[in-house]
Amino acid sequence: MDDEEAARRAATAATAANDAGALAAGYGEVDPDVKSGPTDFVTAADHAAQRLVLDHLADAYPDEPVVGEEDGDDHRLRESVPEAGPAWIVDPIDGTANYVRGLPAWACAVACVVDRDPVAAAVVTPEHDRRYVAGAGGTRRDGTRVETSDDADPRECAVVPFYWWAYDERDAYAAGVAAALRRFDDIRRLGSAQASLAAVAGGEMAGVFTDRRVSSWDAVAGVHLVRQAGGRVTDLGGERWTVGARGLVASNGAPAVHDALAACAAAADDRAQ
């Protein structure tokens, strides 16, 4: 795909994510339902925002499949990302647990992949009024080019143990956090994987880590932002992260920072086994 087409798809993703974010932000009081577990929520706003994104994509790319976090009756929705060809990946509200509590750290994320590799993405954090967009020519926040931080010493960095561990896996989470506290200046947990990755792309955070297998809608858009901003994203084994990979380590690209994040993910994984 050439840069011009990637830019067009990035613009489509940005418009869809921005409009969905505005809808969710103004939706009003919602009653959450529980999906897979006691901390996995879904609301009417999630469904409404996803439908709005699907409408945008139907206008721009009517024949391309979509993978969305929420269930729906749209004939283009798929359960998994196709191995070949273009497809879209949507998370209408990433960080619903924050959203239902009135906390501002949640995001709307839309990404396009070709052969499962991201080519365009947008992550919007409506309550922070920030819009991150990337095609093939770098990452922009509110229209201005951004890059990952230049911090090279882990002891000067704050990082995110992101993507929640289930209740029966909290020992692994604790091991990862303990490893991070030994290696880094501090940690933050934002409660939104996409907002966390966007913060790495924008230089506010030095990196994120998890040993979990991250859902495509929770990662692909943010992964593209980080890479286009100059960062590095790998799986638990140190290979280039791809959809379906086990573990995710995203950094500003500094070797010492990335290695320390990978060690934290490995510590969590060791405790989980």
Q: Are strands 41-42 and 66-68 parallel, antiparallel or unpaired?
A: unpaired
Alpha-helical regions (H) of the chain: 3-25, 44-60, 96-101, 170-183, 193-201, 216-228, 255-272
| One domain, residues 164 and 140 | no
| One domain, residues 53 and 167 | no
Tokens of 188: 């933050």
Please tell me the predicted confidence (pLDDT) of residue 139: 99
CATH of residue 184? 3.40.190.80
User: pLDDT > 70: what percent of the chain?
Assistant: 93
| One domain, residues 127 and 161 | no
Residue 70's alpha-carbon distances to 29, 47, 153, 194, in angstroms, are 19, 7, 40, 16
Question: What is the spatial distance between Cα 269 and Cα 258, in angstroms, rounded to a whole number?
Answer: 17
| One domain, residues 11 and 34 | yes
Please tell me the predicted confidence (pLDDT) of residue 53: 96
Task: Give yes or no for residue 85 having a pLDDT over 60.
Answer: yes
pLDDT (average), residues 88-92: 97
Question: What is the spatial distance between Cα 72 and Cα 57, in angstroms, rounded to a whole number?
Answer: 15
Please tell me the predicted confidence (pLDDT) of residue 27: 83
| One domain, residues 94 and 24 | yes
| One domain, residues 12 and 136 | yes
**Long-range contact set of residues 165-171: C-beta below 8 Å, sequence gap at least 24:** 165/212, 165/268, 166/37, 167/37, 167/38, 169/272, 171/271, 171/272
CB 218 within 8 A of CB 210: no
The answer to pTM > 0.75 is: yes
Q: Which of 146, 174, 198 is the last residue of a domain?
A: 146
Beta bridge partners of 209: 161, 249
* Digit-coded pLDDT (tens) for 21-66: 999 999 876 665 555 555 556 788 989 999 999 999 999 999 999 9
Tokens of 113: 């992949």
Please tell me the predicted confidence (pLDDT) of residue 32: 58
| One domain, residues 127 and 24 | yes
Phi, psi at residue 142, to the nearest 5°?
55, 40
Q: Give the domain extent around 40.
A: 3-146
* Digit-coded pLDDT (tens) for 109-164: 999 999 999 999 999 999 999 999 999 999 999 999 999 999 999 999 999 998 66
* DSSP notation for 48-101: HHHHHHHHHHHHH-TTS-EEESS----TTEESS--SSSEEEEEEEEETHHHHHH
| One domain, residues 128 and 227 | no
Phi, psi at residue 134, to the nearest 5°?
-145, 130
Greater model confidence, 73 or 96: 96
Strands of 86-152 (E only): list them.
86-94, 107-114, 117-125, 130-134, 139-141, 144-146
| One domain, residues 81 and 206 | no
Provide the 10 A C-beta neighbour count for residue 114. 18
SS3 state at 191: coil
Please tell me the predicted confidence (pLDDT) of residue 82: 93
CATH of residue 74? 3.30.540.10
Question: What is the spatial distance between Cα 51 and Cα 107, in angstroms, rounded to a whole number?
Answer: 16
Tokens of 91: 């998370």
* Digit-coded pLDDT (tens) for 221-263: 999 999 999 999 999 999 999 999 999 999 999 999 999 999 9
| One domain, residues 8 and 122 | yes
Please tell me the predicted confidence (pLDDT) of residue 167: 72
Task: Give yes or no for residue 165 having a pLDDT over 80.
Answer: no
Domain count, the chain: 2
| One domain, residues 47 and 125 | yes
Beta bridge partners of 184: none
Q: Which of 146, 163, 197 is the last residue of a domain?
A: 146
Q: Which of 100, 128, 146 is the last residue of a domain?
A: 146
Determine the Cα angle at 137 with ends 133 and 139, to 5°: 35
| One domain, residues 250 and 126 | no
